[in-house]
Each structure stands twice: as structure tokens, then as C-alpha cells.
Amino acid sequence: MRVLLDTHALLWFLLDDPKLSRVARDVIANAQHRPEVSPASYWEIAIKISLGKYELREPLGAFMDRELADNDIRILPILPRHAAALTDLPFHHRDPFDRLIIAQAMVEGIPVVSTDPLFDPYPVRRIWERRIS
């Protein structure tokens, strides 16, 4: 099963942060699942680092290249059909990064690993506390 990681889920998994739920960790680490990340996530991280809201112990590029490869996390490119889905997406969620992640998940028909309940009004499955198969 393919799963799309929200930005916090990606970071919490890569940094082994206890804020990541056990269910989310198990889904991401399961060899039968294929975790994917949107470029919106590493763009969001870069902006937070540049604003001083987040800090890594190494340059972002080196961190992301190594961690994505080591954890077999694939990049889901932003395609025109993903951007097109944003034109009709209701504004239940106003964060532009999350809106793009939601649009990608909707178009691809894949669940999102996220703690954010603002994803729930959209037609995407959100994985956090409950297991799905």
C-alpha cells in the first residue's frame, strides 16, 4: 500500500520522535507499504529552517537525501493534475503545504499519515491511531 506522509509525520519518523503514533510508525516502517513524500514537505521544512522555526544538525539537502534513501521513502512529484485538484478543493484547511498534500492524496487515491484532523473533511483516509490494511 502506498502512503503519503504529512511533513510532521516524515520528520517525526526520520528523527525517531516519540510524538509519532505507534500505528503511524508501524505503517511507515512496514516493508509491505510504500511511504511517499511530497516536495511540499521538504519545501515547508526549508522555509521553517530559514525562518528560525526549526533546526537540523546538518544541512537539509544532505539530511533529506540520506534519510529518504536509507528509509526507502519515495518522492511523489507534484504533477499538473495535483495542482488542478486545488482549484476545486474546499478551504477546510488553509495551509498551502497541507492543501497540496491533500490534493496529491486525493488524486492518487492513497491515505495520508498525519495527526492533523483538518484532513478529515476531505475524501482522503488519514492514518494516525487506527490501523488500516
Domain locations along the chain = 2-127
Q: CATH second-level architecture of 2-127?
A: 3-Layer(aba) Sandwich (3.40)
Amino acid 115 reads T
Give CA–CA dist 93/101, Å, rounded.
11
Burial 65-95 (b: 16+ CB within 10 A, else e): eebbeeeebeebeeeeebeebeeeeeeebee
In this predicted structure, the answer to whether residue 18 has a pLDDT above a threshold of 80 is: yes
61-117: per-residue pLDDT in tens? Answer: 999 999 999 999 999 999 999 999 999 999 999 999 999 999 999 999 999 999 999
Q: What is the pLDDT of residue 133?
A: 42
- pTM score of the predicted model: 0.94
In this predicted structure, the answer to whether residue 130 has a pLDDT above a threshold of 70 is: no
Whether 6 contacts 45, CB under 8 Å: no
Q: What is the pLDDT of residue 39?
A: 98
Nearest residue to 104 (alpha-carbon basis) of 129, 128, 78, 130: 78
